[in-house]
Amino acid sequence: MPASLRDVAKARTAADGVLKSALATSDPHLQALAWDLQARVALAESDLKGARESIQQALALVEKTEIAFAAWQVYATAWQLYQRLKEHKTAETNRQRAEASILKIADSFDSDEPLRATFSPQFPSAESWAKSREQASSRHGLERVAAR
């Protein structure tokens, strides 16, 4: 089995464990991130049906609760999924929601707070959004979970 397939298999095992643990809690933030991770692993597996099902679970959580930090990540994953599905209008709506969520986080800091700049990037074009999203989520540790 090629190394990349082993990595995806490891990510699937890790994502399943994360989801099981998150669903054992009542924390919608953890649950949304776990469903997001499931969707991203499904995308890596080219399982678009599984990715859609997982991202719909994550979207339901972020849309009914106030969890901006998880929301931007979920919306960004939804953007990636709907781009792959060629549902461009839905993809763009989710990209805009991710951007709005990031701005909401930035606006929650005082104007002189250095962390504000972390969440106040120049927003990328649709073409570079996925790369920026991967870099940002990596900074916040989500890729490390999948790599275990």
121: containing domain = 3-147
Q: What per-residue confidence (pLDDT) applies to 140?
A: 44
Q: Give residue 24's pLDDT.
A: 98
pTM: 0.78
17-35, pLDDT tens digit by residue?
Answer: 999 999 999 999 999 999 9
Long-range contacts of 42-50 (CB under 8 A, 24+ apart): 43/77, 43/80, 43/81, 43/84, 44/8, 44/11, 45/8, 45/12, 48/81, 48/84, 48/85
- Mean pLDDT confidence for 58-62: 97
Average pLDDT, the chain: 84
pLDDT of 54: 98
Residue 83 pLDDT > 90 = yes
What pLDDT digit, counting tens, does each position of 108-148 carry?
888 888 887 777 655 554 445 556 556 555 544 444 444 44
Report how far apart, in Å, the C-alpha atoms of 80 and of each of 74, 104, 115, 127, 130 are. 10, 21, 26, 10, 7
pLDDT at 68: 85
Strand, helix or coil at 66? coil
Number of domains in the chain: 1
Q: Quote the pLDDT of residue 113.
A: 84
Residue 30's alpha-carbon distances to 5, 102, 104, 112, in angstroms, are 27, 18, 19, 29
Q: Is the pLDDT assigned to residue 85 strictly greater than 80?
A: yes
